[in-house]
Structure formats: structure tokens, C-alpha cells
Amino acid sequence: MVKAYSSLADVQSGLRAGAITAVDLTRSYLERIENNKNLNVFLEVFTDSALAKAEQVDAKIKSGTAGKLAGMVIALKDNICYRGHKVSASSRILENFVSPYSSTVVERLLQEDAIIIGRTNCDEFAMGSSNENSAYGNVLNSLDHKRVPGGSSGGSAVAVAANLCLAALGTDTGGSIRQPASFCGVVGLKPTYGRVSRWGIIAYASSFDQVGPLTHNVADAAAIMEVISGVDEFDGTLATQPVPAYSQQLQTPQKKRFAYLRDCLEKDGLDPEIKNRLLQLMERLRAEGHIVEPVEFPYLDYLVPTYYVLTTAEASSNLARFDGIRYGYRSANATDLESTYKKSRSEGFGAEVKRRIMLGTFVLSAGYYDAYYSKGQKVRRLLRNKTEEILSSYDFILLPTTPGTAFEFGANSADPIKMYLEDIFTVQANLTGVPAISVPAGKASNGMPFGVQLMSANFTEPALLAMSAHVQGICEKL
């Protein structure tokens, strides 16, 4: 019986010492996946390609040529393309679609000898906060099956939390890595916009989307970031600056300056247990000599509306390509070209995706463009300026990841606005582009975990990762 590993360092020392092989390790994860099928985490397990890769990794370890992620068994959210493998964005419209090419992140993971074990369930086209929008059923939170895992990368978060793999990739357009990380008790990082290639990621809102890791600890997130970040000729939005050796820069940080947004802590609906934990954390940070100060951020109530105006606009454009002709699902009831489009899209997309396509089409339409889309862009600029201003005088902004712990299935389903408000603390980082991470901060009295969130200036991931490792350590002792 192979033990449940919770860090890459541990896996790699086991492999190097010959205590385990990559093949046995992979088999043990496959077995755990099989035994936990009820969680509905994996839409597909890539048994053959994973075992083939594991064999290759074992040979490379013997010959001393193994890559940086050798032995990291990793899962992909089902919106990340991997050549010759199915990818569906958890949508019926892409059912049985096989990707003809690999995303850049997949190429890079494989180059460094990660073992890709399967694709994880998520909200359809990454739209949602609870995983209830998947066409393939809910993912259960492994800590309480009545509760959601968060979304949209809920499958990826549970995969890590339940030890069905060592790490997973997710995508984060408005919190989809950080919110499920918080609900499942794992680490989740949204990198700076422009740090990680979006080539081969099924687009939701292109000026917001970023790929990032979900892991047990910050060091593993750093190791993955080192491999997946950096320029790519296929994604023109990437920054050209070199990729730092993130995993070499995790030492305990010097004294830093933290801001917290006063209104965030006073927000109605913030779980008092989460608020208390944040206050305790601040006290500890101050006791260590860091500066922790409140700042005004008068735009809190504009974050969610601006996010939903702009992302639905981008989504309506991005999802226009799913027409029943080029990919996946085509309605059997169509009689001509127009009904092929109409019926394939009506039958292929789920309710939330349709809601967003319609909303996005509306905010972009003649007559409403200025009132919604243009105005949203202006507000985005204001939010960005204010966030950058704060981050020019402070190293970090400290805030909750989520207003509460994982809620029960159905709790927010009847009211989309209520569901959208779940994203209040996470969308700021996507609207402004800055990196943000959620690290486990404790458990509430209902037994469910929750995270705290740190944001920092663009491309300051090294400092962000080092501090979040430190913060996770503090929270473990509180």
C-alpha cells in the first residue's frame, strides 16, 4: 500500500531512494480514484497515458534525467486541452470532443515529467461557484457530501483534498481556483494575468482567464508555476519578463506591509468565524513586526456587477464558435442551417451558460453597449487604478477568500444574484489582473475549512508565495 503523499518533495525523495516507483504511485492514485467514484470528481481517468508516462519517469529517474516535476501526479480541469484526449468544459455541447492539440501548460507539465492522471469535473464552461452547473452531475465536497466543493474548479479542488492526485490545474476567471480551494481546504493560486499561457484553454472571458495550481502546500504551487509560466508564441498577452525560480524563494519573509479593506471585514454576510480568524491572523502578523493597516476601497459593491457585465460580454463572443457544426454536439432535430445552430445551442448548453450568453449579447448590443459594456470597462479601469495605488504603498492586501464556508447543494440555486455574490472577494484580482492566492486558514465550527486570501502587485508571485507559505504556517497554529 502506497502512502498518501502530500508534497512533491516527499514523493521525489521516495522515488530517488527507491522506496516507491512512479508506476506504483500512479496505480495507487488510480485505485483511490476508483474507490471514491461517488465524489464524481473525474470525468475521465487517463489510465493508459498516465501509466505510460509513469514508466518513462521511472526510467528517467534511473538514468538521472528526470524533470522538475518527476512523479507529480496531476489532474487537469476539463477545460484544458491535451492532445488525443477528450475535453468537454463539462458541457454537453462538447461531449466526446477529442482535442487535436495540447495546451501550452500541458506540454510544459509533460516536458518536466508530471504524470497527467485525468480530467476533472467543473461548472460548464467554468461558469459557476458550486459545480452545480456541470452537465455531468455535481462534484461532492469530500469533507461533507451534502455540501458543494465550490466552483468552477470544484473537481480539481476535491481531487487534491481527497488525495486522488497530488496536484491539479484549474482556471480562475473570477475565483474559480481560490474559492473551491477555500471550500476544500487546499492552496489555490491565480497568477498575474499574462503570466501563464492561455493557449489550449477553452476560453470563458479572455481578459480575465488564468490557469493556476491547486495543491496541498505553497511549495508545490511554486514548483508548478516555475514550469507553466512564461512567454509562449501562441499567446500574445503574455509578459516577456523572465520566470523567477519561485520554489527557491520561499524563505520566511522580512517585515512587510499589509493593507486590509475595511469594508470587506464589515461586509454583511461575512461569516463571523472567518472574520475572527482574519483578525487573529492580523494580530499575529503585527506581533511579528509587520505593518497591518486598514485602507478605504469605496468600490466593493461595484466589483460583482462589473465582473458579470464584462465576463458575460466576453463569454457571449467566445462561445459563439459552438454552433453545432464545428465541434461536439449537433442536434438530431435540425432541419436546415439555422435550426442546426439554434437547436444545437439550445440543447447543448445548460441554463447558466445560456443566461450568460444572453446577458453578454445584451450588454454588447447597439443601444446598450455604452450603458453597460463601455461603462463596465471604465469602472474596471477605476478598480485597477485604486488597487494599484494600494499596492504601491503596501506589499499585500489581506482579505477573506469567501464570505462563508461551503454551502449545501441547492442553497443558492434558485437565485443567481445570490450565487454571484459568493464571488465578492475573489473577482477584484481578475478585474485588475493582480495575482491572488487562497491558503487554508482553519475550520469553522461546522467542520468545514476556509481560506484567507492575499493579493499583491503584478508579477510579485515570489513575495506572494513566500508570504502565503508563512501565513499558512501561522494559521495552522492558531
- Tell me if 120 contacts ligand GLN by CB under 6 A: no
The full 3-state SS of the chain, as one line of letters, equals CCCCCCCHHHHHHHHHCCCCCHHHHHHHHHHHHHHCHHHCCEEEECHHHHHHHHHHHHHHHHHCCCCCCCCCEEEEECCECCCCCECCCCCHHHCCCECCCCCHHHHHHHHCCCEEEEEECCCHHHCCCCCCCCCCCCCCCCCCCCECCCCCCHHHHHHHHCCCCCEEEEEECCCCCHHHHHHHCCEEEECCCCCECCCCECCCCCCCCEEEEEECCHHHHHHHHHHHECCCCCCCCCCCCCCCCHHHCCCCCCCCEEEEEHHHHHCCCCCHHHHHHHHHHHHHHHHCCCEEEEECCCCHHHHHHHHHHHHHHHHHHHHHHCCCCCCCCCCCCCCCHHHHHHHHHHHHCCHHHHHHHHHHHHHCCCCCCHHHHHHHHHHHHHHHHHHHHHHHHCCEEEEECCCCCCCECCCCCCCHHHHHHCCCCCHHHHHHCCCEEEEEEEECCCCCEEEEEEECCCCCHHHHHHHHHHHHHHHHHC
Which residue among the candidates 152, 247, 316, 468 is catalytic per the annotation? Answer: 152
From 11, 30, 57, 127, residue interacting with ligand GLN (rule: CB under 6 A): 127
Identify which range of 172-180, 258-266, 293-301, 439-447 contacts ligand GLN by CB under 6 A. 172-180
- Tell me if 129 contacts ligand GLN by CB under 6 A: yes
CB of 189 to ligand GLN, least distance (A): 13
**Residue 365 falls in the annotated catalytic set:** no
Site for ligand GLN in 259-318 (CB under 6 A): 311
Per-residue binder mask for ligand GLN (CB under 6 A), 145-164, x = binder = -------x------------
User: Total residues at the site for ligand GLN (CB under 6 A)?
Assistant: 14
Which residue among the candidates 68, 77, 190, 267 is catalytic per the annotation? Answer: 77
Specify the residue, 202 or 259, whose C-beta has the smaller distance to ligand GLN.
Answer: 202
CB of 137 to ligand GLN, least distance (A): 18
- Tell me if 176 contacts ligand GLN by CB under 6 A: yes
**Residue 77 falls in the annotated catalytic set:** yes
Specify the residue, 130 or 456, whose C-beta has the smaller distance to ligand GLN.
Answer: 130
CB of 423 to ligand GLN, least distance (A): 5
- Tell me if 460 contacts ligand GLN by CB under 6 A: no
- Tell me if 405 contacts ligand GLN by CB under 6 A: no
Specify the residue, 128 or 328, whose C-beta has the smaller distance to ligand GLN.
Answer: 128
- Tell me if 349 contacts ligand GLN by CB under 6 A: no
Specify the residue, 176 or 405, whose C-beta has the smaller distance to ligand GLN.
Answer: 176
- Tell me if 175 contacts ligand GLN by CB under 6 A: yes
CB of 460 to ligand GLN, least distance (A): 21
Which residue among the candidates 176, 197, 344, 438 is catalytic per the annotation? Answer: 176
Site for ligand GLN in 193-212 (CB under 6 A): 204
Residues that bind ligand GLN (CB under 6 A): 126-129, 152, 171-176, 204, 311, 423
| Residues acting as catalytic residues | 77, 152, 176
